[in-house]
Amino acid sequence: MEPSDEALCERVARRDEAAFDLLVSRFQERAYRLAWSILRNAEDARDISQEAFIRLYQTAGSFRGKSKFSTWFYRILVNLCLDHKRKHKWWKLWVRDDVDDRGDTILDRQPAPVNDPVDKLSRDETLKALGSAVDRLAPRQRAAVLLRVQEDMATYDIARVLKCSEATVRVHLHRALATLKKTVEKH
């Protein structure tokens, strides 16, 4: 039977390198994707997600098992991402947000599943606008939305990641989705 994430974390605290490698393999894609969704830059996402794994290695002993390992790890990761965004806020004044590091827009990154070209265009336009609107959300609102949508996390777990109450998460989500709804309604 595969060891649980929590059991692996305990082994990492005892400096078990194999357990660390296994945890990295399990979480690398999710960590990188979440970091990228918040930071919108592949290089930063790689650096920050790797830094989160280093912090995990260094502080595994402080994981008490009161929450799921994923919640504890996402807290480290999201905090690093939010700190990074805060430190590099000024840079955003000079860089367009809706173009990523490959020069692709959100539209370029979308799959093209729809048959009707008109519908497809309209849908792509809406998705593009929606993606840009997500990028413009306040950092914690954006983090709450991403944890809900990408990681399918419950309000309780999002609250633990963002270190706030469930009521605050509900407000973050409500406000963020109200903003995004307006964007959709415009299209």
The H helix count followed by the E strand count for the chain is 9, 0
* Complex with other proteins: residue 7 or 184, whichever CB lies closer: 184
Least distance to other proteins, CB of residue 104, Å: 8
Kindly calculate the radius of gyration of the chain based on its CA atoms and give it in whole angstroms: 18
* Complex with other proteins: residue 10 or 173, whichever CB lies closer: 173
Cα separation, 27 vs 55, in Å, equals 14
Please give the span between the terminal C-alpha atoms of the chain, in angstroms, as a whole number: 50
> Where does this chain bind other proteins (CB under 8 A)?
21, 24-25, 28-29, 32-33, 36-37, 42, 45-46, 50-51, 53-54, 57-58, 100-102, 106, 109-111, 126-128, 130-131, 134, 145-146, 148-150, 154-156, 167, 170-171, 173-174, 177, 180-181, 184
Cα separation, 183 vs 133, in Å, equals 7
Cα separation, 141 vs 14, in Å, equals 36
* Complex with other proteins: residue 1 or 116, whichever CB lies closer: 116
Least distance to other proteins, CB of residue 176, Å: 10
